[in-house]
Every structure is written in C-alpha cells, then in structure tokens.
Structure 1
Amino acid sequence: MPTIKPRVAVTLEPHTHEVIERLAQLQGRTRGSVIADLLESVAPALTRTVALLEAAAAAPDDIKRGLRTVVEQVHGDLVEAAGASIVQLDMLLDGTADAGVDPHVVTRGSGMGTTRGSAAKKNPANPGKSRAPARKAKPKAE
C-alpha cells in the first residue's frame, strides 16, 4: 500500500534483527511496524537532543565547555539508571528460569559461546556454559 510517509532503509546487526523478528512474531505485527513504534517512542528524546546539539553548535566556547560538563554528568546518571534497569530485567529472567521457563535471551554474544542472565549463574565457574561440566570417572581401586 502506498504511503506518504518517508521511508528509510536500515541495516541491522544480526542479533538486533533476530530480536525485532521475534518481537514482531509474538505481537503478530510486521518488523517495520515494530521498528517504527520503537523510533516513535524515542522521538521526543531525539528532538530534545537535536535542539541541544544545535544550541551547542551555536554557543561560544566557554558555554560549550560548561555544557559539556553538564552533558557528561547527565550521561553518567543515565548510564547508572540503565544499569539498574538491566539488573532488574536479569532478575526477572532468573525468576522465569527458576520456574522452569527458558526465555532464550538474545544478547550481543548470542551464538558466540557466552551468555547472560540465568544461564551464567547456573555455572559461575564458567559463565560461558550453562551446564555443569561432565565429571571424570574415578579409576577403580584394585
């Protein structure tokens, strides 16, 4: 169906594409509609960021230095807040794993022998494996 909305072609990392694909299937939607909704949800923040960058570009050097300090402080606060959110999500995933549900978490390391979340905690000696290593057979005493 033709649309008057602008179109954009985006190249995704394989892990990102897999997550988008899975979400679209779970919601019975297209990948494009999932991506459009995600971008719409961050559009207000992007609008503010663009306005700040435009103001910074037009500002005198002393103002730019002060603005940089403020932005670095805010960035640190945002990273700290995001970290707490990720910890909360990992706790939720651990709870589902304890209930016998395998949520198949897709991360940047998926398929590369490393895991996050509940699988990493099952074998803390080797976070890249979710199963305990096989035991070596003891030699029989003669």
Structure 2
Amino acid sequence: MEYDNSTTLDPRIAERLKRDAKGLVAAVIQQYDTHEVLMVGYMNDEALRRTLTTGRVTFWSRSRQEYWRKGDTSGHMQYVKSVSLDCDGDALLVEVDQVGAACHTGKRSCFLEGGPLPCVEGHRTPDQAEQSAADKAGKEQEEQA
C-alpha cells in the first residue's frame, strides 16, 4: 500500500468501527509468521490511520493520553504486515514483523510476564472432533481449487 497523506481515517473504515466510550478499539498484535500473540494495545481513529498509512504500529496510550509509535524509544519496532477488523467491528488484529521485545518488561510477548492462569481445560466430544476434521478437509479442498 502506498503512503496516504490524508489527515483523517478513511470514512469507509471509520463507519465499520465500534469504539468504546473513550473512542478506542482494542488492537491485538500478532507476529505475522509464527502467529504468536505479542501484546494488546488500543487505537483511536488517528492511531489506526497512522498505522494503516505509515507501516509502523501507533497506539493511543490510555495512561499518558498521547500517541506512541512502538519502538521509537526502545528500538523494538513493529512493522505492519496486515490489519484486519473482527466481525463485530470492535477489535483489530494487527500482524507485524516484531523487532526485539514487544513488552515493556523486555519480554518478547506481554503474555509471558503475566503467565498462565489456572483453568479447567475443555475437550471436544468425539462427534465434534469428527466434524472438525471434516471442516478442515473441506477447507483444504477449497484452498486447492
């Protein structure tokens, strides 16, 4: 995508967003090639516009009340590979090429520091497992067609 020097978010994108009371949308940041979830940040319309038009991820800092472009002070850049909006319009998936740590603690992922929480693990029934295998086979056939 070429750089877009407009100063507002494309209205066709803006109308699809469902923002919270503060005008923000959650942005899940994922490493594009490994699909590792790195962090969650928040974007308003301007942060999203900057992300879409510069090739670097920009967030709105809820604590500092300012824009911050990931990596400007740490050197741990996030280069945008793709941006997707979820079906409800209230969350973004930003696939990036992460340079260095994504977390302010110095860890690669923000989810390493907090660690897993105790939970009951769910399991598919045998019928659900069969259906899942059939769905996967159908998807593979569609991709080959």
Higher strand share: 2
TM-score by length of 1: 0.24
Larger-gyration structure (1/2): 1
TM-score by length of 2: 0.24
